[in-house]
């Protein structure tokens, strides 16, 4: 794939990408009252590329099954209000090398 004059050869073919279901909560909101009362534009609902976060019934609803572990949550929330960790070892997105 060529983009911006750079040829990408390091993208994993989909047969090398696997999702192992995660049963533990690895994404949470520290203080939902900040979302409700202080955060005006709810940017988490649009900065996440896979739409993990949705605003419903005056709260952030998290669909962590959609997470591709890009880490945007940690950087994007203006209040540092998202508690995001990698899923427990051996689960989540796994890219096989070799
Ligand atoms: S961006 Fe952060 S503070 Fe704003 S609604 Fe989302 S989680 Fe809450």
Flag whether 44 is in a domain: yes
What CATH number does the domain containing 88 carry?
3.30.70.20
The answer, yes or no, to whether any atom of ligand 1 lies below 6 A from the CB of 35, is yes
Mean pLDDT taken over the chain: 87
**Residues 77, 1: Cα–Cα separation, whole Å:** 31
Q: Is the CB of 52 under 6 A from ligand 1?
A: no
Q: Is 28 in the pocket of ligand 1 (CB under 6 A)?
A: no
pLDDT at 17: 79
47-76: average pLDDT: 93
Q: What HEC string does 20-89 produce?
A: ECCCCCCEEECCHHHHHHCCCCCCHHHHCCCCCEEEECCEEEECHHHCCCCCHHHHHCCCCCEEECCCCC
Nearest CA to ligand 1 atom 6: 44
pLDDT of 1 strictly over 50: no
Closest CA to 82 of 48, 40, 41, 37: 48
The answer, yes or no, to whether residue 78 has pLDDT greater than 90, is: yes
Kindly state whether residue 9 falls inside one of the protein's structural domains: no
Q: What are the pLDDT digits (tens) for 20-39?
A: 889 999 999 999 999 999 99
**Within a domain: residue 45?**
yes
Q: How many domains, the chain?
A: 1
What pLDDT does 81 receive?
98
Does 27 contact ligand 1 (Cβ within 6 A)? Answer: no
């Amino acid at each position: 794939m060529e983009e911006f004059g750079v040829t990408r050869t390091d993208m994993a073919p989909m047969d090398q990408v696997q999702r192992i279901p995660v049963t533990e909560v690895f994404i949470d909101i520290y203080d939902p009252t900040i979302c409700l009362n202080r955060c005006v534009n709810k940017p988490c609902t649009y900065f996440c590329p896979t739409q993990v976060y949705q605003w419903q019934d005056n709260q952030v609803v998290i669909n962590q099954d959609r997470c591709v572990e890009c880490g945007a949550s940690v950087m994007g929330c203006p209040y540092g209000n998202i508690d995001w960790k990698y899923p427990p070892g051996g689960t989540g997105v796994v890219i096989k090398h070799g």
